[in-house]
Amino acid sequence: MFDIVLGVAQEIHYLHQGCDMQILHFDIKPHNILLDENFIPKVFDFGLAKLYSVDDSIVSLTAARGTIGYIAPELVYKNLGGISYKADVYSFGLLLMEMAGRRKNVNAFADHTSQIYFPSWIYDRLDQGEDLELGDVSDDEKSMVKKMIITAFWCIR
């Protein structure tokens, strides 16, 4: 799983900084990540993407772009600040959170209301030093998942 996560991060980095033009995807989500026969991830579906100069730090949009559950808040609420490549980083953080937690970020069928939004629930567990309830995984895997979750929090803050 770590190789897939790293591959997606490298793909996004390439879109933002590896081309002559900055490509902002605006729809990073599980459905837009393909795995080849070697499980190498490929970001696809550029229907919402926009090209911008690498010199532009803030971009302008006339309407929100993305998928509910992965869309960065600044794309919906214009008073939160300018729109930039950070919108894709936010979406990647939510994708990472889902991969690490092996569940959707919003679970309307959760047993307790405090478990509905996974990032809040997992943050509370980490903050209180509680077990992450990862099931039957090795200690190395638990350590990797915890690092993925912390990285995801850096992306969505």
pLDDT, tens digit (0-9, with 9 covering 90-100), for 28-85: 999 999 999 999 999 999 999 999 988 888 887 877 889 988 999 888 887 777 889 9
Which of 6, 22, 3, 14 minimizes the C-alpha distance to 151? Answer: 6
Confidence tier at 134 by pLDDT (50, 70, 90): low
Residue 34: phi and psi, rounded to 5, are -100, 150
Catalytic site includes residue 124 = no
Report the C-alpha gap between 117 and 156 in whole angstroms: 13
Residue 136 has pLDDT above 90, yes or no: no
**pTM for the structure as a whole:** 0.85
Q: Kindly name the residue from 27, 88, 127, 140 that is annotated as catalytic.
A: 27
More confident of the two residues 126 and 91: 91
Report the mean per-residue pLDDT for the chain: 86
Sorted by sequence, the CB contacts under 8 Å of residue 142 that are 6+ apart come out as 132, 134
CATH architecture of the domain with range 1-103+135-156? Orthogonal Bundle (1.10)
Start-to-end Cα distance in the chain: 23
